[in-house]
Amino acid sequence: MFSLKNKTAIITGAGSGIGRAIAEVFGKQGAAVHVLDVDEKGGAETINEIKAQGGSAAFWPCNVAAQSEVKKVVEQIIDERQYIDILVNNAGIAHIGQADTTSEAEFDRIVSVNIKGVYNCLHEVIPYMKQKGGVILNMASVAALVGIPDRFVYSAAKGAVAAMTLSVAKDYLKNNIRCNSISPARVHTPFVDGYLSKTYPGRETEMYENLSKTQPIGRMAKPVEIAWLALYLCSEEASFITGCDYPIDGGFVRLNT
């Protein structure tokens, strides 16, 4: 079950964190994994790990906010693989701030990656997927579902991703393209560790525990736990699922009071 053998998968932002976990799981399940990331060191580490496990992987330096870069990479992948079966729009950047404390430059930076980056990948990949179908998975967030303090533009961007998911799912039903999204709560990634060390030096352990307890389940998710859900939604076992968002949040959305 959940085999991705002979599938070509593009995963953006797979140089670390959730994206890397998805890439590694997909590689183990037989997909030819194509990692797109601005982080060349992280991207190389991801594909080296996949290859060490016997999988097939390639890294493409790419800024998803630049449509010309996405177009060039997608065309190269098509030349090599002839088809793209799976697109995982995972690349994204975080931001902390409220409406009146978020600068225009910060707003534009988040929108360019978290919204326009998803659009760019959809714009370039869908024409090829329309040939025989495929699966698109977008990374949304619980920030699009509930009010989270100090996440104004990040929440707005993830809300846009959730809306794009529904639009794409509706528009391409006739082309046998499925599109879903995942909305994680807090996940223990390098970003979390960096944020804690920068914002709470000397109190990292204490603040990590505090953030973990905001999930009713009592801990943050592991990146691989998000990857397992991604694997299911991109596999043939999920062939009847489209236009859905899946909170994977330790009870954050429904059980917080």
Q: Are residues 196 and 230 in the same domain?
A: no
Q: How confident is the model at residue 256 (pLDDT cuts 50, 70, 90)?
A: confident
Rounded (10°) angle between helices 67-81 and 116-129: 30
- 154 classed as catalytic: yes
Q: Are residues 127 and 207 in the same domain?
A: no
SS3 35: strand
Q: Are residues 130 and 244 in the same domain?
A: yes
Return the pLDDT at 191: 84
Active-site position among 83, 119, 154, 208: 154
Question: Domain containing 127 — which CATH number?
Answer: 3.40.50.720
Whether 1 maps to a domain, the answer reads: no
Q: Are residues 117 and 136 in the same domain?
A: yes
Whether 254 maps to a domain, the answer reads: no
- Cross-strand bridge partners of residue 97: 151
Domain with 199, as residue range(s), is 186-220
Rounded (10°) angle between helices 17-28 and 223-234: 50
Strand arrangement of the beta sheet that strand 245-248 belongs to: 56-61, 32-37, 8-12, 86-89, 134-139, 177-184, 245-248
Whether 21 maps to a domain, the answer reads: yes
Return the pLDDT at 195: 84
Q: How confident is the model at residue 31 (pLDDT cuts 50, 70, 90)?
A: very high
Q: What is the pLDDT of residues 88-145, one digit of tens each?
A: 999 999 999 999 999 999 999 999 999 999 999 999 999 999 999 999 999 999 999 9
Whether the pLDDT of residue 257 is over 90: the answer is no
Question: Which segments within 68-127 are labelled E, that is strand?
Answer: 86-89
Q: Are residues 69 and 103 in the same domain?
A: yes
Query: Which positions ≥6 away from 247 have C-beta within 8 Å?
Result: 142, 145, 183, 184, 185, 253, 254
Q: Are residues 37 and 66 in the same domain?
A: yes
Q: What is the pLDDT of residues 136-192, one digit of tens each?
A: 999 999 999 999 999 999 999 999 999 999 999 999 999 999 999 999 999 999 889
Prediction pTM value: 0.96
Between 192 and 237, the more confident residue is: 237
Q: Are residues 153 and 192 in the same domain?
A: no
